Amino acid sequence: MWNPFSSLQPQDRIVEQATHPLTDLVQAALLYYEESGIKIEFSRNRLHLMRPCVGQSFARMRDGSSYKDLKKLIADGRLVAKLYNPRDFPEIERIFEMAICGLRKYRKKTYSDHKDAKAMIEKVISGLNTAKMLYSPSNVILNDPLWSEQEWDLECSGQEAESEEDRQLRNIWEKEELEEFVRKAAFVWNNRKNKTPIVKSQCLGKKGELEALINSKVELYKCVFKQKLKHLATNGQPSHARV
């Protein structure tokens, strides 16, 4: 699989183990939807999402509202990247650029498969965007003298004041949905590292040991993110706690 951090210099490279929460979530999100049948390739600043048969044509999405939602997600994602770790921002930005390109492209066929592909791409972007709400203005920005609520609005809306519709879009992810994604992402990430076969029923979660494994990873992510939020609120600079 393409490594989004492969272009970093050796001295700047983030270790490949689960030591960087945002990296893990991004990679786990891509892995999770790869397992669902979407092939992900990256080349020349373009993200190609396709079914197992390579070379299928894609059409640009013509839904204006969807494109507006997409611009909103990319703005929020960039801001999260800046807050999280400025050093990683250029590489993380590429990931979100991949996402914005991906949502604008989906399979144009006479059957309903293109709708499924579009839905998958939207979920990938939502997965990449899960960290966003952890850095919401109420938690961090308003406590940081370098940022005001107005500046947040300008950043998120592309130099325009945030509308009520945009504000609702920004709050669309509820706590339960975020936790559900982290559960799935953590499960896929752990199993890929352990080279354990993944089946659909497992991705939905089971009782017993599997659930305990997922829960432990979720709690681990929560702990790290809380530490970062506390550090940001106190010092206005990202911490570099490792998982």
Are 161 and 149 contacting, i.e. CB atoms less than 8 angstroms apart? no
Average pLDDT over residues 72-77: 44
pLDDT score, position 164: 55
pTM comes to 0.20
Per the model's pLDDT, the better-predicted residue between 43 and 98 turns out to be 98
Are 191 and 198 contacting, i.e. CB atoms less than 8 angstroms apart? yes
**At residue 76, does pLDDT exceed 50?**
no
pLDDT score, position 218: 52
Per the model's pLDDT, the better-predicted residue between 57 and 215 turns out to be 215
pLDDT score, position 212: 54
Quote the percentage of the chain above a pLDDT of 90. 0
What does the pLDDT look like over 199-223, one tens digit per residue? 333 333 444 444 455 455 555 555 5
